[in-house]
Each structure stands twice: as C-alpha cells, then as structure tokens.
C-alpha cells in the first residue's frame, strides 16, 4: 500500500494561438483554453501504474484559481482517487518558490510515500517546483525520469534518466520526488465511466490559512522575480526559390542576402 502524491498544474492549451495582453508582461486570456499540463499526465499515469502494482491511493495536488479544478478532474477521470486544491485570492502572481512552499505544505498534511511531478509545466517552462518541493520536504529528488522501478515493500526506487547519449540509472530511498519525462509511459485516455465517476470524487479546497501559511509571503508582491516583458517569436516566412540562369540567379541571391536579409 502506497500513498502516492501527484502535483499537477493547469496550463494554456499550446494548440491555441497565444497572444500577449496589452501590458506585454503576460499572455492574453482571450481564446485560451486550459488543459492539464501534458508532463503531469505522465506523472499521473506513473502514479496509477504504481497504485495498480502496490495498491494504495493517488492524491492529486494543485494550486491555482477556481478553473484549476478542471485539471484535477481530468486526473481523477484517469483514475486518481482524490484531489487537493489550494486556492486563495492572495496567491495570484505567486512565483515558483512560493508555489513549491504551498504544495509542500499541502503534501505535509497527508501521508506520502512517493511524489510524482511533471518535468516542467509547458506554460512557463521553469521546471523548478518539483525539485523545490523535495528540498522543502527534505527528501531526495530525481528529475526527468524515463523509467521508475519501485522495490518490493516500497522503501526504494531505481530510476532511469536520459542524459546526453546515455542512460543514467539512480537508486533512491523513498519517499522522494520524481519528475516525469515524456518517455516515462503512455498516459491512458480517461474512460467514460472514469469521467462520470470523476465528477463525484472528493476534492478538498484549502486556503493559505488552512495550511498555516502567512498570506503576506505569497502573491505577486512577494515574488522573488519580476517579468519585465514578453515577446512573440518572429513570424516565419515561406522560403523563396530563385529561378533562372545560374549566373543571374547567383547575382540575385547575393543581392537579396545583402540588401534584404542583411547577412552579408
């Protein structure tokens, strides 16, 4: 029997066209749909497989506004047992370290034998929260796992990581934080009965006060960094083929490279 925790995040669907809002410091909420962070799906799948093997319970933890509950429901539809949703108006604009503190505080309230996270969240691509949770809980961490083998009895785990041109195999005691790379498994598609049941599964709402945290230490005001600007990648234009006689074409190409592209 293992108590398995998965930290998840709701992120904008990357299929949608992302636009900047007028401040230029964050993205526009217009036309955005939110999904469960894809890397977190691998984490949930690994948690579910662990539960299937050893028995136990999978608890999802997330921090975010009301809509973040949808991400929990997606995970519950996949088969997780319950969710913890930390939501508090004071949390708006909280940085990575603040997020890690909140999640770690929530995890401390429940028994935990292993904690899975996604390697990164695809929105801000930081990859900090998982490792920071491990530090805050004082337990080991293995990031970007591609294979996890938990020893009989659940006291330790052997974890593979892909490194440049090789596979690194680590042994860690448990509890530990393991973050999921995308080759870790093939996340299951939620079954319809799973989706139906997910609506009834318990989601515990918690505020900063419930966790005994001081609201003044969270939110944009307490952030350790500030986003000064965001920019869209420049639009890619179609290639051009210069046709015609070779010497003429070459002259044309040189001219274009010099005058238009300004690379020579």
Partner 1 sequence: MEPNEIWLLAMWGLSILLLVVFLYGFYRKYRLANLGVQESRWDKMGERVKSFFVFGLLQRRVVKEPIPLLFHTAIYLGFLYLLLSTTLVFVQMDFGINLLYGDTCLWATLLADLAGIVVMSGVIVAAYRRYISKPTRLERRKEDAIALALIFLIVFTGFMAEGVRILNGDPGPLCRTSPGGQPMDDAAWSPVGVALAWFFEVLSLQGETVWGVFWWVHLLLAFAFIMYLPYSKLSHIFIGPLNTFFRSLRPKGALKKMEIKEDAEVFGVQKIQEFTTKQLWDLHACMECGRCQDNCPAWQTDKPLSPKKIITDLREHLYERGKVLLKKSGEGEEVPSLGGNVVQYDEIWACTTCGACQEHCPVFIEHIDKIVDIRRAMVMMESNFPNEMNPVLRNMETQFNPYMVGNDTRADWAEDLGIKKLSADQDVEYLYFVGCTASFDDRNKKVATAFAKIMKRAGVSFGILGTEEKCCGEPLRRMGNEYLGQMMITENINVFKKYNVKKIVTACPHCFNTLKNEYPDFDGKFQVIHHTELLSDLMKKGKIKTSKKLPAIATYHDSCYLGRHNDIYDQPRDALEAVTSGQLKEMKDNKWKGFCCGAGGGRMWMEETLGSRINETRVQQALDVKADTMATACPFCLIMLGDGIKAKDAEEKLDIVDIAEMFESAMEK
Residue holding tokens 């088969």?
Answer: 79
Q: Which is nearer to partner 1, 158 or 182 (CB)?
A: 182
**What is the chain written as a DSSP string?**
-EEEEEEE-EEE-TTSPP-B-TTSSSB--TT--EEE-HHHHHHHHHHHHHHHHH-EEEEEEEESSGGGHHHHHHHHHHT--EEEEE--GGGTT--HHHHHHHHHHHHHTS--SEEEEES--TTT----HHHHHHHHHT--EEEEEEEEEEPTTSSEEEEEEEETTEEEEEEEESS-EEEEPTTS--PPPPPHHHHHHHTTS-EEEE-TTTTT--GGGSSGGG-S-------PPPPPPPP----S-HHHHHHHHHHHHHHTS---
* Nearest by Cα to 86 from 178, 203, 199: 203
The answer to whether the beta carbons of residues 111 and 75 sit under 8 Å apart is no
Q: Which is nearer to partner 1, 16 or 232 (CB)?
A: 16
**Residue 82 beta carbon to partner 1: minimum distance, rounded to whole angstroms:** 20
* Nearest by Cα to 173 from 190, 152, 157, 191: 157
**Residue 190 beta carbon to partner 1: minimum distance, rounded to whole angstroms:** 8
Q: Which is nearer to partner 1, 50 or 74 (CB)?
A: 74
**Residue 27 beta carbon to partner 1: minimum distance, rounded to whole angstroms:** 13
**Residue 32 beta carbon to partner 1: minimum distance, rounded to whole angstroms:** 9
**Residue 34 beta carbon to partner 1: minimum distance, rounded to whole angstroms:** 8
Q: Which is nearer to partner 1, 118 or 187 (CB)?
A: 187
**Residue 17 beta carbon to partner 1: minimum distance, rounded to whole angstroms:** 5
Q: State the residues that interact with partner 1 by CB under 8 A.
A: 13, 15-17, 31, 33, 35, 186-193, 195-196
Q: Which is nearer to partner 1, 154 or 187 (CB)?
A: 187
* Nearest by Cα to 99 from 60, 63, 138, 139: 63
**Residue 92 beta carbon to partner 1: minimum distance, rounded to whole angstroms:** 24
Q: Which is nearer to partner 1, 118 or 175 (CB)?
A: 118
Q: Which is nearer to partner 1, 153 or 193 (CB)?
A: 193
């Amino acid at each position: 029997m293992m108590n398995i925790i998965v930290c998840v995040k709701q992120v904008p669907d990357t299929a949608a066209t992302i636009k900047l809002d007028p401040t230029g410091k964050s993205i526009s909420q217009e036309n955005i749909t939110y999904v469960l962070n894809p890397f977190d799906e691998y984490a949930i799948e690994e948690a579910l497989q662990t539960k299937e093997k050893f028995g136990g319970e999978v608890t999802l933890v997330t921090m975010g506004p009301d809509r973040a509950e949808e991400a929990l429901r997606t995970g519950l539809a996949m088969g997780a047992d319950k969710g913890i949703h930390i939501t508090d108006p004071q949390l708006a604009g909280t940085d990575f370290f603040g997020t890690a503190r909140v999640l770690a505080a929530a995890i401390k309230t429940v028994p935990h034998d292993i904690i899975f996270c996604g390697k990164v969240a695809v929105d801000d691509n930081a990859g900090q929260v998982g490792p920071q949770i491990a530090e805050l809980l004082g337990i080991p961490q293995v990031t970007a796992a591609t294979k996890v083998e938990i020893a009989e009895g659940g006291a330790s785990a052997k974890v593979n990581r892909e490194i440049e041109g090789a596979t690194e195999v680590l042994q860690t005691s448990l509890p530990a934080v393991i973050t999921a790379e995308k080759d870790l498994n093939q996340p299951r598609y939620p079954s319809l009965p799973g989706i139906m049941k997910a609506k009834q599964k318990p989601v515990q709402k918690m505020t900063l006060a419930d966790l005994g945290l001081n609201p003044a230490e969270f939110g944009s005001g307490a952030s350790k960094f500030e986003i000064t600007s965001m920019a869209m990648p420049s639009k890619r234009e179609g290639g051009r083929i210069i046709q015609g006689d070779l010497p003429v074409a070459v002259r044309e190409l040189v001219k274009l490279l010099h005058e238009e592209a300004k690379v020579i």
